[in-house]
Amino acid sequence: MDERLRERLAQLEKEHEEVLARLADPAVLADQSRYRPVAERHAELKPIVETYRAFLDAEREAAEAAELAEIETDPEMVAYLQQVAEDKRAELETLERRLRAQLVPKDPNDDKDVIVEIRAAAGGDEAALWAGDLYRMYQRFAERHGWTVEPIEVSELGTGGLKEVVFAVKGKGAYSRFKYEAGPHRVQRVPKTESQGRIHTSIATVAVLPEAEAVEVEINDNDLEIETFRSTGPGGQSVNTTDSAVRITHKPSGLVVSCQDEKSQLQNKLKAMRVLRARLYQRQLDEQLGERASARRSQVGTGERAEKIRTYNFKENRVTDHRIGLTVHNLAQILDGDLDEIHEALMADEAARRLVAG
């Protein structure tokens, strides 16, 4: 391990001790506004410090075993000590890799709730059916992680598919996983309406936005144009009888958000504002990164078949993530929300790329 990394880890260990002292301070414990950031920092530092201390222990034990092997006269004991030293050196390599991965900067949005937007793209009615399948997949995925799914806007077609669906996922760490779902999803299968058994290729696009707090995005009421209209489609007794649906236009950006999922006009307005705030927050992030195109467009592309982040092939029981070249043959489990294997591979790839870049 190079000296620069040692110095950094030693500083983090010292900071961890200071954080522990603050956590034991009665004044901090009595003030949630002070306690929460200290507790969060402790949670960030603890695994790093534990790995660092394990590294130091293994380093010490390797040195001691090697030193004893130099002065030992019993051949069997020498061989044993040399093996201990070799095992500890191998452990050191593993621990150093873990430390470098732990030190990769965390995405500040990872713990946020998310707004997810699914839209049928190329493929007509089959694309709409596929959008519905993806929506159900994400509902089950959220359930597996104990997160709550909240529909915001659902636009159904008479075929049973979804033209568009916007929903929120609430729960710690939701963005850290859902962000890997952003992009065009391609399906290859025989539609139920295909009499000759021909395989069709369709696309549905997915955009994933971290949900922003009101303090993170300032919206001037004078910049909003708010319209109400009658809901259409499923929704209860108020559908087509009251102007409960809401459409909000943010005039400076040109963004338009509508919501009609709730029976109450106020509830629809609140949901629409959440989506608008998430989209504006994403634009702010883009500007901070110096990106010219919005993240939503970079995520969903043009929706053409040639663009895809993942392919779901029913005939071959295959799911391929094209970003990392990973292929698994458990399509049914994936569609049932079992996305962890794919996500863990994507997370490892991202961490490796950040280490190289850093």
Residues 171, 93 within the same domain? no
Residues 168, 142 within the same domain? yes
pLDDT band at 272 (very low <50, low <70, confident <90, very high): confident
Residues 175, 44 within the same domain? no
Residues 275, 128 within the same domain? yes
For 163, the domain range is 110-358
Residues 22, 142 within the same domain? no
Residue 306 has pLDDT above 60, yes or no: no
Residue 157 has pLDDT above 70, yes or no: yes
Structural domain ending residue among the three candidates 72, 102, 132: 102
> Among 192-206, 298-312, 334-348, which stretch is predicted with the lowest mean pLDDT?
298-312
Q: Report the percent of the chain where pLDDT is more than 70.
A: 86
pLDDT band at 130 (very low <50, low <70, confident <90, very high): very high
pTM over 0.85: no
Structural domain ending residue among the three candidates 41, 68, 102: 102
Written as one string, the DSSP assignment of 42-102 is: HHHHHHHHHHHHHHHHHHHHHHHHHHHHHH---HHHHHHHHHHHHHHHHHHHHHHHHHHHH
Rounded Cα distance, 199 and 103, in Å: 46
**Domain holding 179: CATH number?**
3.30.70.1660
Q: Are 186 and 305 in contact (CB under 8 A)?
A: yes
In Å, the largest CA–CA distance within the chain is 95
> Among 43-47, 280-284, 312-316, 337-341, which stretch is predicted with the lowest mean pLDDT?
280-284
- Residue whose pair of structure tokens reads 């699914």 in the numeric block: 118
Residues 275, 348 within the same domain? yes
Q: What is the predicted pLDDT for the residue at 28?
A: 92
Q: What is the predicted pLDDT for the residue at 194?
A: 67
Residues 121, 170 within the same domain? yes
For the chain, give the mean pLDDT.
84
Task: Read off the pLDDT of each residue in 66-93 and give the average, rounded to a whole number.
Answer: 94
Residues 76, 195 within the same domain? no
Residues 203, 67 within the same domain? no
Q: What is the predicted pLDDT for the residue at 289?
A: 58
Residues 116, 207 within the same domain? yes
Out of 2-6, 67-71, 292-296, the most confident range is: 67-71
Nearest to 250 by CA among 210, 221, 278, 287: 221
290 or 347: which carries more pLDDT confidence? 347
Radius of gyration (Cα) for the chain, nearest Å? 26
Structural domain ending residue among the three candidates 102, 137, 154: 102
Residues 54, 122 within the same domain? no
Q: How many domains does the chain have?
A: 2
